[in-house]
Amino acid sequence: MTEFNEPLSKVGIQLRPTQIIRADHSLAQGRGALRQLLTDHPETTAVICTTDTLAIGAMAEARKMGLNVPRDLSVTGFDDVELSAQVDPPLTTISIPAAEIGRGAADYLINAIAGRPVPKSVLLPYRLVMRSSTAAPRVNERSAKRTRTKIR
């Protein structure tokens, strides 16, 4: 869980273990994971998914639960599959160079099998693709009261 908490803690966000749902990369798993998350944490305003497929499933479940994405819940994905731009609303995601990753993996395997040196890590470019599935977080009653208390 520390791999998730470290970058988030730098901006003041702490996740509890129950806020990280492990799921296979399928639409059904995205739906089920969102249902579980919102049952355990109904105050949730944003969901970060490790694949666009999970995110699209989560958005479908949010709609089924009567939630509006992004007004009630922001959803993001990762990998920028073609469908991500076509769903309603279009999915905010991280775009990665999938072909370059595939070539690098093949080169890695070939070099490892041949006994040649292989890199311990490789940095690849990525970019945030802002679409319509994210918005500023909604203000719920608890946070509104907290804000008023801080102002006084």
The CATH number that applies at residue 52 is 3.40.50.2300
- 105 and 139 co-located in one domain: no
Please report, as a single letter, which amino acid is at residue 28: A
- 75 and 120 co-located in one domain: no
* Half-sphere exposure for 143 (CA within 13 Å, toward CB): 7
pLDDT, averaged across the chain: 88
Q: What is the pTM of this model?
A: 0.81
Number of domains within the chain: 2
Domain extent at residue 48: 2-92+130-151
3-state helix, strand, coil in the chain (%, to 5): 45, 10, 45
What is the per-residue pLDDT across 36-68, written as a single tens digit (0 to 9) for each? 999 999 999 999 999 999 999 999 999 999 999
- 87 and 113 co-located in one domain: no
Question: Which two three-digit tokens encode residue 41?
Answer: 């944490």
